[in-house]
Structure 1
Amino acid sequence: MVRAILGLWRWRRNPLRRGTDLAESWVALAALLLILSVAPLAGALVGRAADGALQRSAREQQRTRYEVAATVVREVERSPLDPGPEVPTGRDTRSRVLADWRGPDGSTHHAPVLTTLKSPHHGDHFTIWTDPRGELAARPLDSTTATTHAVLAGTGAALAVGGLIEAGRRLIVWRMVRRRYARLDQAWLRAGPDWGRTGTGS
């Protein structure tokens, strides 16, 4: 694209300039201007919209999820599908235990849960997140994480728009090149039968 844009100056008054050469340069310049203007704008709009939605979700989760204390009853046998302790997973080692806890509404619960306790024993305490009825829930989204996800969404949108513009430029140039070759083939067919004949200027 940059080479084609630089060609705008090179082809200004060049007698060898073809119309398609100049057209390709203008297409490249237009694509570059669109990438520099439209792509960042799209990224900003998508990022702002995503941040608004994620921040609302984070506030809702923080309002409706509670951190409560749970008590280990016993450790649950590891599933054959669970990675063994010697297998690195890139995450904290978690154990599955049967636990008791009381929900925010006063209800009692008894169910298997995951804990970060390295060696859980009966009576050990740890914290879990629940909804208002005491049912297990994921940790609520925090504002910083929501912002990070929004930035990633905006960046992805900007890159996607830039990629679409570049793809459009390549498609236009490809069609222009095909038409150029088609015209060359036609000129070749017209001139070919006269080659070598006397009186044709050969």
Structure 2
Amino acid sequence: MRAISGLWRWRHNPLCRATDLAEAWVALAALLLILVVTPVVGSLVGGLAQDTLQESVRDQRASRHLVTATVVRKLEGSPLDADPEATTGRERRTRVVADWTAPDGSVHQGQVMASLDTPQPGDQFKIWADQHGRTVARPLDSATAATHAVLAGVGAALLAIGLVEGGRRLVVWRMVRRRYARWDQAWDKAGPDWGRTGTGS
């Protein structure tokens, strides 16, 4: 981006080549794209992600239900582990066999993770299930969805910045290659006698 500062300084400089000005204009255009277009791209992608994720939150809240399960027995040798869906990640869980009733009235039994330190037969705890009683993960909450949407917007903006900068570098690289090719042609025309006395150079 140093070429931008040279754009104003070199506008009347007799040593300024057309390619120098072209590089400066390319850099200025890239900077304007980064400052104007990439925030718009990030905002659009973040907004679309927010709409999609919030719709997913509503769908999950409508289709997933918190039901009460009753411990039948603890599975021996089952380790305690943290619930990956928990907000803090510190909630301890124990694998047990439990009974629960689905929202549609059907009765189910199976292995589930109980949020109990020392589960005993008859203890009750809450699990998430769908309408037919199949265990499911807890529904996505609005705050997490909003965080994912913001990250998507930031990622899209950074990707756009990378594409603009990559395009600028590619254009400048091609300009430099052409400049070197013209220099080689000029040197070929000057010939091997360049700089010798009496050769008219």
Match of 2:3 in 1: 4
Deviation at 1:136, TM superposition (A): 0.7
AA in 1 matched with 2:8: W
Taking the TM superposition and a 5 Å limit, the aligned residue runs for 1:29-44 are 29-44=28-43
Equivalenced residue count is 195
Deviation at 1:194, TM superposition (A): 1.6
Q: Does the Cα contact within 8 Å between 2:81 and 2:93 map onto a contact in 1?
A: no
Match of 1:161 in 2: 160
| 4+ runs deviating over 6 angstroms | 82-85
CA separation of 1:34 and 1:123: change in aligned 2, threshold 3 A: same
Distance 1:84 1:114 in 2: 9
CA separation of 1:78 and 1:50: change in aligned 2, threshold 3 A: farther
> Which string of whole-angstrom CA distances, capped at 9 and with x for unpartnered residues, describes residues 157-186 of structure 1?
111111111110010011111111111122
> Which string of whole-angstrom CA distances, capped at 9 and with x for unpartnered residues, describes residues 2-49 of structure 1?
x11111112111121111111111001001111111111111111111
Taking the TM superposition and a 5 Å limit, the aligned residue runs for 1:44-83 are 44-77=43-76
CA separation of 1:115 and 1:31: change in aligned 2, threshold 3 A: same
3-state DSSP of counterpart to 1:71:
strand
CA separation of 1:83 and 1:187: change in aligned 2, threshold 3 A: farther
Match of 1:140 in 2: 139
Taking the TM superposition and a 5 Å limit, the aligned residue runs for 1:74-153 are 74-77=73-76, 91-92=89-90, 93-153=92-152
> Which string of whole-angstrom CA distances, capped at 9 and with x for unpartnered residues, describes residues 114-147 of structure 1?
2332333322221111111111111111222221
Q: Does the Cα contact within 8 Å between 1:39 and 1:158 map onto a contact in 2?
A: yes
TM-score norm. by structure 2 comes to 0.88
3-state DSSP of counterpart to 1:141:
coil
Distance 2:19 2:80 in 1: 61
Match of 1:13 in 2: 12
Distance 1:77 1:162 in 2: 54
CA separation of 1:116 and 1:200: change in aligned 2, threshold 3 A: farther
3-state DSSP of counterpart to 1:194:
coil
Q: Does the Cα contact within 8 Å between 1:78 and 1:96 map onto a contact in 2?
A: no
3-state DSSP of counterpart to 2:49:
helix
AA in 2 matched with 1:109: H
TM-score norm. by structure 1 comes to 0.87
Which ranges of structure 1 fall in alignment gaps of 5 or more residues? Answer: none
3-state DSSP of counterpart to 2:116:
coil
Q: Does the Cα contact within 8 Å between 2:80 and 2:93 map onto a contact in 1?
A: no
Taking the TM superposition and a 5 Å limit, the aligned residue runs for 1:168-183 are 168-183=167-182
Match of 2:85 in 1: none
3-state DSSP of counterpart to 1:147:
helix
